[in-house]
Structure 1
């Protein structure tokens, strides 16, 4: 119903003449309630008429009522709404407003000054210094959470305000004596902003400024001094000493802008302290910078070079790939020689006591089951009188057969005759055969094999029987796992060399093909490449094929492993079955992964060695590493290796080391720590040391002589000031 005052209300109950007799009552009200409300209206009207000379109309009298007057809103007979709250209620439409009917009269609040009246859909609060304002829905909930008028917000000073926005005009704000409360269904968590932080927020444009909507109430910081409010696109920080200043971005150390770089130094607890100014444009660039108590931070990091002081000890590490396209490569081969891996290969003959049965006993297995085309050992084959005339069988000769033929010293003869034109890197040919070796990015392996051919229906291929054909060849295999590659792809090469005199008799009609199979812990690892198919052996003594294994679809933080095998196989017009597999090549396990910036692959079984002395612009970084290792810290060649840590652990390590050094960095210098923060060996507080001429200011730590350092052992951390350029160039290699 639409509420209006009762016209000429009865001061006593007159049967059949009451307003309730001629008007339907709202749900929840009885005739008794309505009749008593009408009598109360008559009393209030009489009192009001005695104070005014205006028209006796009830509507006119009530419209002219003084703020101190009370009104009963028919048919709510038990409650009178008085004073400024009544005026506010009427201005909103009283019972026709969103508040509906009163559910209380004026109630004095616990402070003894303010008042409130509750209604069906929320209260109106009043205070002489704030006025009368409804507080409903989300705002009532948040205000109650903060102790209503007794909390720091105090009384409301405005009604709920619709916020203008360039996107939706959905947000709301309500102002209180002690701050503002903001609400948006998707962009805010219903948060209060107050004090100096609120003043700064309003000065930036509030929700339409660079910070967006608030995402938290004001939070006390761990030092017990500063305070912070979080917003969609940054935070505002405040101390009484520094004032209130926004820092834009997120905590992401790579993409989080100035906030991300500050976060990497442990926020206000790190060497930069609190912000002391707004973000400013970097003249002549598209970048920005911001001043903090301990220095200036710039973003993006391309602004940072050795000649300025913008940046942090930890930064978006970079190196110049145009002048150092191999900076991330593994130096193991040149420093200590190739790493030999344990990747068992099928033996030359299946009668070898360490053959397939031996592999199974060592819990090693083939990738896939050997098919019916697996080449048998020659001593396991007998003649078949029912075979067609001229039908041939391929088999692998036993060592005794090779010895009878004068072929047992095959490797020595190969090296002496130099008739193997290797396609691999030079060190590979000197490896023992069937042994993979190299580093995390390059691996190679070779193996010598023989295949004999016999007549199936007339010959028993035992020692003493002469084969009708013979193949003598070397398989070569390599893989290249780039540490940065699209789709986490790695490449390989397989080659076969038929040696001088190694194709004879019936073998001259044989054809060669290759089969490649990859299995993955992920969604698959398809192999692509030209391959070899039915190639005539007699006219192609050397053949190679390249291939690529891809791991598309990796997301940040995802890691997969690949296992590959390559099998050469022969076919011949006179054989049954049609094709015969030679011993396969099993590749080392390849691990591929992706982080927020890059993706790529490595051979994890080969621990990498990085020779920082060969990296451009990293000489001071390399010198510090050398000093630290000579003082007893791990990571040197032949010593205890460093192991990569998670991002969370790396941040903890930084907080335990250089982020403890709160002094302003010397111009153009960074604090460098070793072992690296990105390793599990890094971040040790016990055993901290620094160096003469570049020492960092921490109490009670030894200062060592770089020319003759004491061996303090491990665990521990070495810290030194080095040039920003050298620190970040070295960090780019690690990253």
Structure 2
């Protein structure tokens, strides 16, 4: 038998790598072979050679990323965080342009970089960012990543006034405008400039690098000079503490969200929403609905001044940050799960120095890399101030981009990967608040792909008031929950879903053997055959069956399937069942 790794020669200048049927050609083929072909990190090809939209470049996509070729740059792979950073600015059509190198290990042996025709992308640990032009040159003058600025922590970004551009770094910033050129600002001078309002302050943009002035340091700006130390400023640091306010306990019986296919709209059991927050987020609980995830964090920021080695507290700020995800309802036709991420930050109190000189921050999100999710709406670039009484609300539209969007049968845990960030600095002690204590999961196990709050208890409802067709099934469930020894499916005794076809068939065979019911009647069993509490799994006498009209049974099947889908209820996940009779009585 021929080797499974054999390479089949096809068109001139191309190869096919069995078992993938695609041709890899020319310079892209040479680079692919250089990297180990299908035995290398790219694995097998997923496409033939494709022409890029500009008509000049080519690419071939592989399992773990593409190789791009251009006349000026040659053939190079762009993968993982580098690919995500490149994609944020339009791939080769954006200002970054085509790759001109493979990934290169930096001298510190920690990070990597990749050069492009219009910029360079640097990566360290979890994120990659682009940096180019005069900002790149100035960063190089400081010693690149091994200099005092460290690695970039943002892409090149336009300033709010549209005049300048800047990159953030681990220990400073570099700002550029055409008339002032590029200059780094760091340390205590950056602290003073940021407190004054950056380029929108009385100082304007930097016009020089920082320099020594006797025992002090100073830096020129368009409309003045900042000197450190001075009579008004010692070394300053700010420290943040936060705690979660919401309980992750199971929602009480009265608040469990019951899906009965017609249960849209406001739920009268919930308190009214607070500003932009969903109603589910003002009940004191994190996880009420599968469609919503909530978090409330209370925080304090303490400012210290350090003089001659003595650290003195000089002010505090208290704030409450409310964060939520509202997932779009999953359907059988969902292809790209989306959600709204929202944040509401209220500054409840300030004292000391914060009363006259409040601290500031910018908002960001956890979907910047594009690996598991991405933001599709505009990012917020405004610098906010934590001044007593101020309230900031902002929402983003986001979508899933994880493995579940690319293949079936995949579960993507998303807790900690969706959320907002409050970023302050950089100063000698920058701080951040991570508002990502939100429960979430995406999956492609059954129907396309969808995302939910998987920690919320799911509920299935058979509501005869809203859906008269289901009346006989609702009565059956009502009676079964009242009379069966285990009272399956009531709030105190949730049941568990099964995806095991063999078990489902066994449940049906015990509860509804062939011939037990004949049309126009059909056999309705409870608990349902799609659960681990079906007739083949529980004790005799702890399950129920009843003859009901086919129309009622069909309606029950539709409601159950829709509830499984909308709630993304997977294997062994618990849910409750509520029956509502025509007269309004409920089974629990």
TM-score range, shorter chain: 0.3 to 0.5
Structure with the greater alpha carbon radius of gyration: 1
Per residue, is there more strand in 1 or in 2? Answer: 2
TM-score relative to the length of structure 2: 0.43
